[in-house]
Amino acid sequence: MIVHMFGHDVGEGRVWITVDGRKETDRWTVQCLTKQGERHSMIQMDDCGIYESECSDVNEPAFSYWGENRCMTALFKHAKANGIELI
C-alpha cells in the first residue's frame, strides 16, 4: 500500500489518507473523525467513526482491498506524524 496524501480538516473534524488501489489509476480514501482538544486534534482510536455516515462509504473500497487493520494503521501513523494525538 502506498500513501499518496494525508489531509486534516479541523473544521469538519476529519483526517484522511489517499492510498493506491487495485489498478494503477485507483486512488482510495481512508478517513476517520477527530475530536478537538484545547490545543490540537485527537483521534480516539477505538471510536473514530470509521463505520459512521460518509466515513463508512468512503472507507469501504480500501478496507475491502487492503483490510481495515492495514488501512487504519497507515492512517494513525500519518496522523501521529502530523501532530495529531492518538488516544
- 38-67 residue pLDDT tens: 677 888 888 787 777 778 888 999 999 999
E strand spans, 1-87: 3-9, 14-20, 27-33, 35-36, 41-43, 85-86
pLDDT in tens, 59-80: 999 999 999 999 999 999 999 9
pTM to 2 decimal places:
0.88
pLDDT band at residue 3 using 50, 70 and 90 as cut-offs: very high
Residue with cell 486534516: 8
**Residue percentage of the chain with pLDDT more than 90:** 51
Task: Point out which residues pair with 43 in neighbouring strands.
Answer: 86
How high is the pLDDT of residue 23?
87
Radius of gyration of the chain (CA): 12
Contact 42, 49 (CB under 8 A): no
